Amino acid sequence: MADAENRPSNFIRNIIDADLAAGKYPTTHTRFPPEPNGYLHIGHAKSIVLNFGIARDYNGLCNLRFDDTNPEKEDIDYVNAIKNDVSWLGFKWSGEVCYSSNYFDQLFAYAEELINKGLAYVEFSNQETMREMRGTLTSAGTNSPYRDTTPAENLQLFHDMRDGKYKDGECCLRAKIDMSSSFMCMRDPVIYRVRFAHHHQTGDKWCIYPMYDFTHCISDAIEGITHSLCTLEFQDNRRLYDWVLDNISIETRPHQYEFSRLNLEYTMMSKRKLNALVTENHVQGWDDPRMPTIAGLRRRGYTPGAIQEFCKRIGVTKMENTIEMGVLEACIREDLNESAPRAMAVVDPIKLVIENLPDDHIEWLDAPNHPSDESMGTRKLPFSKVVYIEREDFREEANKKYKRLVIGKEVRLRNAYFIKAERCDKDEQGNITTIYCTYDETTLGKLPADGRKAKGVIHWVSASHGVEAEIRNYDRMFTVANPAAVEDFTTVLNPDSLVITKGYIEPSLVDAKAQQGFQFERLGYFCFDGNKNADGKLIFNKTVGLRDTWTNNESK
Ligand code: ATP
Ligand code: MG
């Protein structure tokens, strides 16, 4: 059990505390119920951390249950990706993975029970007529002409549905509740429909599938769930959840509680919309590092710890709100600041020649892997006559505020010596091509004896040892904070959400493991993508900058 002081506190945990104190349940049993119709996103992480976190802190259980009642939209690849993401986030589900489809036989039997009790009937009206009969928020609906069919007839019709005697959409099974209820979901909701579709778990066994509202509560009860936690859009549906369980003979009695969804600025949280980004090729896949998916965040260099910390910081309430991107980024920045080894890379290289070094000079310098954590050790850094520095770290002339390299002035090459710029070459367009310097051999790890100060410290990579790499810089995917509110989100895609440069990395980085994170000194946090580009160069993804560029910087 996690120590009590570190436990989050929220209204759901308060309810659980009260239930346990009252002896209502011996322990907690929660579940995370994704539909396998896409990859998990950071919003799902909120639900995962809530459900699995409760199991962890109360010595309870948490199931992973696939809510798989829409075979046409679902896929076994999504099932596998979701399992992988939940495990990667650091959670273990109780027992085997569950599927609502495991319960199709039981669900069918409970539907028969409702029919026998006169609480469900087979509907033959078409969709248009059903919509008209449903009424509106301000006017009651009207009863279907099929509402009073006898239980015996309905049972036969329902069996005929199962036996494939009706086509898709020709009929459906409805719960008989109340066509004048102020809750639209209680106006005789559909609970089974005909769908001749192959199912990733049950194959071609069924041509009828139960609806979500009927399936979810019964699956919860079958699994002995105590607290069924879902997002606020299911608030009204809680009436139906309770109605179904009140009207079938099932022993256990779960209760549903709703909390607000996570919304994050400059991104979208709906699997349907994320799917559109993938299928319309606005991104390179579900794990594109610009995606708010768990897979995308992982490839971007996020760690499970940072995502868990984020979920802790945002909390769980019933209030709808939108979280600033800076909150998520602060979590990974703080994590990597502690855990990521430092390294040097130059992302916009310009050549610098140290003229007072011999052509074949190679010196292996020791560089600490972390400024404050000595246990992370040191690495060898090759220093040679020609190095790369960032183009923006040199100017021919500059005022005092420019703390970098200027002709006639000195800077320190990080982890190495003082250098002084002497002159530079330019191409025909006036672009600087090479900078010529001299170095002071007395300044390794110490200041010059005469007390001279350097204007600043700049990073560098030896040209003869540096390895060319593809650097991928990411920015917000959309140009507006709430793209989901725009009718056509393709009109607000940020054309600069991915900017690729050719850089050079220090040689120690070629051994990086996939998604291993580094602080490229002075540049930000980057991780090895795990892949090479078409030219065989290693790809590094920018995870996050060194400082928050979101807050108070709308125009950027
Ligand atoms: P989407 O609209 O992205 O498809 P969903 O709610 O349909 O989301 P499910 O697979 O049904 O996705 O969700 C599984 C669980 O995750 C549900 O309990 C759902 O309430 C929760 N969940 C989904 N999105 C969010 C979110 N943005 N914030 C918090 N919880 C979420
Ligand atoms: Mg859904």
**Residue-by-residue pLDDT tens, the chain, 556 positions:** 455 667 889 999 999 999 999 999 999 999 999 999 999 999 999 999 999 999 999 999 999 999 999 999 999 999 999 999 999 999 999 999 999 999 999 999 999 999 999 999 999 999 999 999 999 999 999 999 999 999 999 999 999 999 999 999 999 999 999 999 999 999 999 999 999 999 999 999 999 999 999 999 999 999 999 999 999 999 999 999 999 999 999 999 999 999 999 999 999 999 999 999 999 999 999 999 999 999 999 999 999 999 999 999 999 999 999 999 999 999 999 999 999 999 999 999 999 999 999 999 999 999 999 999 999 999 999 999 999 999 999 999 999 999 999 999 999 999 999 999 999 999 999 999 999 999 999 999 999 999 999 999 999 999 999 999 999 999 999 999 999 999 999 999 999 999 999 999 999 999 999 999 999 999 999 999 999 999 999 999 999 999 987 654 443 3
Q: Identify which ligand lies nearest to the alpha carbon of 36.
A: 1
Q: Is 47 annotated to bind ligand?
A: yes
Q: Where are the beta strands (DSSP E) in 157-298?
A: 172-175, 190-194, 208-210, 227-231, 255-259, 263-264
240-244: Cβ within 8 A, 24+ apart: 240/175, 240/177, 240/183, 240/185, 240/186, 240/189, 240/213, 241/213, 241/216, 241/217, 242/217, 243/175, 243/177, 243/186, 244/110, 244/175, 244/213, 244/214, 244/217, 244/218
As a whole number of angstroms, the distance between CA 280 and CA 202 comes to: 30
Q: Is the CB of 79 under 6 A from ligand 1?
A: no
Q: Is 44 annotated to bind ligand?
A: yes
CA atoms within 13 A on the CB side of 307: 30
Q: Give the active site residues.
A: 35, 261, 271
Q: Identify which ligand lies nearest to the alpha carbon of 67.
A: 1
Q: Which atom of ligand 1 is nearest to the CA of 262?
A: 28
Tell me what pLDDT residue 550 has.
Answer: 61
Q: Which atom of ligand 1 is nearest to the CA of 234?
A: 20
Q: Is 36 annotated to bind ligand?
A: yes
| CA 271 / ligand 1 centre spacing (Å) | 9
Considering only CA atoms, give the Rg of the chain.
Answer: 31
Q: pTM of the entire structure?
A: 0.95
Nearest to 435 by CA among 382, 392, 394: 394
Q: Is the CB of 548 under 6 A from ligand 1?
A: no
Q: Is 261 annotated to bind ligand?
A: yes
Tell me what pLDDT residue 93 has.
Answer: 98
As a whole number of angstroms, the distance between CA 473 and CA 544 comes to: 9
Q: Is the CB of 193 under 6 A from ligand 1?
A: no
Q: Which domains does the chain have, with CATH numbers?
A: 4-259 (3.40.50.620), 271-341+469-554 (1.10.1160.10), 345-459 (2.40.240.10)
Q: Identify which ligand lies nearest to the alpha carbon of 484.
A: 1
As a whole number of angstroms, the distance between CA 153 and CA 174 comes to: 14
Residue with tokens 């919304």: 263
Closest CA to ligand 1's atom 2: 270
Tell me what pLDDT residue 551 has.
Answer: 58
Q: Which amino acid is at 78?
A: Y
The 10 Å CB-count burial string (b at 16+, else e) for 277-306 is bbeeebbeebbbbbbbbbbbbbbbbbbbbb
Tell me what pLDDT residue 363 has.
Answer: 97
Phi, psi of 133 (to 5 degrees): -70, -20
Q: Which of 47, 271, 320 to mutate to test the pocket of ligand 1 (most atoms within 8 A of CB)?
A: 47
As a whole number of angstroms, the distance between CA 40 and CA 66 comes to: 12
The burial of 99, by beta-carbon neighbours within 10 Å (0-12 exposed, 13-18 middle, 19 or more buried), is given as: buried
Q: Is the CB of 231 under 6 A from ligand 1?
A: yes
Q: Is the CB of 542 under 6 A from ligand 1?
A: no
